[in-house]
Amino acid sequence: MRKRYVLGLLAILLAGLTFSQQTPFQQRLQQAIKSGGSKFAETMRQDPDQALCSQYRNKLPAELVPAFLERQRKLIKYPADGKLLGDWKQGEALFTNPRKGNCYACHTGDPREPGAGNMGTGLVGYGARGTSEAVVKYTYDKIYNAWATMPCSLMYRAGYHGILTPEETAHVTAFLLDPASPVNAKR
């Protein structure tokens, strides 16, 4: 008797939970997304933190920030050999390639690139901050997962999404920090 009572209570609780997860508006939104076809709906599916950033329009409430950063930090992977500073020449190709880094869409880099956007921070002369372990790690982490330092940053998470492997991330890091890279050419 008592067992049944507990089970019933649990069922009600569960039902309540599923209801509270989707408001009628969210259900209507999902219906609209589905009407766009299965491929659209598939690529519009969000991970929980993409959903959070959308819900709060990229401005997370302060109390959610520490756990968010912690989750994102755990997603960062490093090259097997532990070297975070790779080959700047390979990094340049990855930085430029629209299907890989596509960094020129928003950032300057090599000052000779005419087609650089200006939505992101300009990166000409980025290497002026040196190549201390802290600078290298900060740069690597930022490229691999921009949300681990800045919640809901407008910059995408290249490593987390597999667009750049850990080794490739190290190459892009070198393109920004290596004194021989055109990013840091004396002008």
Look at residues 136, 142, 107 and name the one whose alpha carbon lies nearest to residue 121: 107
Q: Binding to other proteins (CB under 8 A): which residues in 117-176?
A: 117-119, 147, 152, 154-157, 161-163
Nearer Cβ to other proteins (136/160)? 160
What lies within 8 Å, CB to CB, of 173 at 6+ separation is: 84, 85, 86, 91, 136, 139, 140, 143
What's the rounded Cα separation, in Å, for the pair 176 and 86?
11
What's the rounded Cα separation, in Å, for the pair 120 and 99?
18
Is 61 one of the binding residues for other proteins (CB under 8 A)?
A: no
Q: How far is the CB of 128 from other proteins (least distance, A)?
A: 24
Applying CB under 8 A, the span of 3-11, 98-106, 121-129, 170-178 interacting with other proteins comes to 98-106
- Out of 2, 45, 112, 186, point to the residue binding other proteins (CB under 8 A): 45
Q: How far is the CB of 62 from other proteins (least distance, A)?
A: 20
What lies within 8 Å, CB to CB, of 140 at 6+ separation is: 78, 84, 169, 170, 173
Which residues of the shown chain bind other proteins in the complex (CB under 8 A)? 25, 28-29, 31-33, 35-37, 39-40, 42-46, 50, 53-54, 57-58, 104-106, 114-119, 147, 152, 154-157, 161-163
